[in-house]
Structure 1
């Protein structure tokens, strides 16, 4: 998808695994944002963000000792005049933080660090992404525009992205409202969190806890995805049931729900020839900025119960009914005919209580 590129620069973090870190190659000037090669590179990175194997975790900046200097640098850049110097200065702060964090990780490796200020779908973002060279190519000396074709766009190694609009929304919200607002996201390899973590900590990222929002969205949006596809719509009710069972099990086990496992559930309904494409589309949809389901999240017990039950609390009586047990046919456990609610198959214990009352 096309983007409006405002500022872009690529620095180099010089670090080989198990070797001492070297001085970073920090550029003094931005790259030409209107250059087609540069635009294609940034669009390629943006397109990878949130896709399968590059799923994003959502969050906010740290507030304590782990915050570092970048969040304040971003705040200063956001409020400053938009120009090359202010952009470069913000990226220099980020590079210093990356250097300090990577230096303490013997197994960490460096790479090219792309910074971009861009607009997509009328939303402005500040992107930081680590990219590597394609196998078989070696970029030496100054990184030139013509060298960008040698950047490997098959996957993101590490990345962080700040949504300007949500950042402002968070700043204007009260403490309760802030719990459901995540203005930044980050991508980090799941198979090597210890090594990859330096990138995330360098930017002062902290995973948020939008458990209620994610718990609801993962079911609602997965069902919507199925309903929008003619071959999948007939399976949306069964998918919903399986997702509720999955979330309930995860909540009971006090384990996080994972997009990779939700994808596996959805794949049961995909045809073999479309499975990979549909799975990638579903994960990208759920993990997008618009929907905001992170790669992992804690299941919100209260929200899950609200989604699966009808709860009524009046002055004279209270009812909590499982939605799956309510129907408009006489054989339903809770039969509703528009005026009356009939309870079939009363539990023995409840019948004993009623017999005792009327006995």
Structure 2
């Protein structure tokens, strides 16, 4: 049996960032991660970091390689009606921007710090239950290398994702679930090819949505809207590139084509929205995907998870320093205000840029009208830019 102040279930970016913030505040923790280190460091997810996330990583001591290798982005390009319009983030938000730095690299940096001088980080630890949420010492049962073990904690934080077990510590008659399933998916592609543009391109077309992103100056991350149930094997590299050329086409440059390269991975990503309330029950807290899922269109998933653990780390530091649980008691309400704004923004971006299989020509004209307003109204453009770069974290 082990004991720690904070038991963290899940060694993804949220759990690892929380562990690092707690370490810097002098609070001990143990991180339990189901997968092995190699799997965690190769798990492909988001790559857009809001300014607040970037600042939190720097404060946690994980900013050196990000600042050297990350790609600052000061805007995005919207393409619709075969025309393009760029949104300049700093001029619209008072100086804010975002950083392109893959989640795989964030995780590698945080793991290296945790193993160097942090608390225990246990890979291959399968958490089977979280019990005693309403007691003074909740218990985490887990199995590692075939041996059943017990971790007692002052607090437990579930950073174990949508399919994790921590959410089950909140009784069904206590929690409320809000969710939406979208009628399309994304085909995500990683390719050894230079990026389309030096910033992200979000494209609305009558054939569906497309997104041209990047991982580095030589590696592109590309997405195509596809029907639910699509098999990635049905999409050859040639078909992927041809469809991207079509959806990203511009009237001003009719001969323009993407620079092609080998497709190194492809996968279909379902689009869903999900929120669990409350995000705290007794001494068990939920953070990141364990509490909420957003469609990837707004680039909010990783950033929402980071915001959750930043708020929680501050609350735990206040409790440690003063004995006051005031911020801990406010955790769920504080985070949910930001969560629902991010859900709204992600839903707006998704509905505006995607072509629903059942939508009418009238609906399409409404989408184009909205995009035209963003392109011509500083107020509409600022609203998008402020949400994309990230709303301020609560004090």
TM-score tier (shorter):
under 0.3
Higher RCO (C-alpha 8 Å, min separation 6): 2
Greater share of strand residues, 1 or 2?
2
TM-score by length of 2: 0.23
Greater share of helix residues, 1 or 2?
1
